[in-house]
Amino acid sequence: MECEEKRKILINSLKYNGICDKVLDAMMRVPRHIFVPDDYQETAYMDMPLPIGHNQTISAPHMVAIMCDLLDISDGMKILEVGSGSGYNAAVMAELVGEKGHIYTVERIPELAHFAEENLKKAGYKNVTVIQDDGSCGLEEHEPYERISVTSAAPEVPRPLIDQLATEGIMVIPVGNGEQQLVVVRKDSKGNVSYEAWGGVIFVPLIGKYGY
């Protein structure tokens, strides 16, 4: 079965999670097999996380879909991602923000930052910038961000990320050690911050100054 056909079957299966069409259409345009190591090409379109080396994973497609759905991404937005991994999640968000938007994705592991950059280049994305650094500190150079997506679990929501979130912005972040919750953080027009637990998840830990 060709990759495109496998991708179509995967995306159709995600409809039952209540994901909006905009996110599903974006995921349909992203060739996930490009972002998966050679040894896992056969399972690139299965709804499961896959190892990418250095004790890190590429998230399961349903989790990427859920996080993008919760972020409510629109065309032209500027987004910060903490944890580039293989670049797949950034690619999906890049589709959602379009040519007028931009994704800044920060990865602490040099080899993975290079892997993500190469994958994104291979897939043709020009609206994503990969930075190798401690993502738990955010990225001050381009703040504020309308959306922030964190792909590893923090002990609590890092203060720098709250500070770098724009007013009327949304952040999605896994929080907790052991039992983790996916938390939706919102900042209103007056700068007040609210937190809403979406549900239980399992992510690798966020390593860094404001992580573990």
- Asked if residue 132 is part of any domain, the answer here is yes
pLDDT given for residue 1 in this prediction: 63
User: Which listed residue (13, 59, 74, 86) is catalytic?
Assistant: 59
The structural domain count of the chain equals 1
Residue 149 appears among annotated catalytic residues: no
Sign, CA dihedral 100-106-107-111, equals positive
Q: What is the CATH number of the domain that holds 118?
A: 3.40.50.150
**Residue 145 · residue 165 · CB < 8 Å:** yes
179-187 long-range contacts (CB < 8 A, ≥24 apart) are 180/153, 182/66, 182/67, 182/70, 183/157, 184/70, 185/148, 185/157, 187/162
pLDDT digits (tens, 9 = 90+) for 126-150: 999 999 999 999 999 999 999 999 9
- Asked if residue 167 is part of any domain, the answer here is yes
pLDDT given for residue 2 in this prediction: 83
Ranges of residues in the chain whose predicted pLDDT is under 70: 1
- Asked if residue 211 is part of any domain, the answer here is no
Domain of residue 13: give its range. Answer: 3-201
pLDDT digits (tens, 9 = 90+) for 117-126: 999 999 999 9
pLDDT given for residue 63 in this prediction: 96
DSSP secondary structure letters along 93-104: HHHHH-TT-EEE
**Residue 150 · residue 137 · CB < 8 Å:** no
- Asked if residue 36 is part of any domain, the answer here is yes
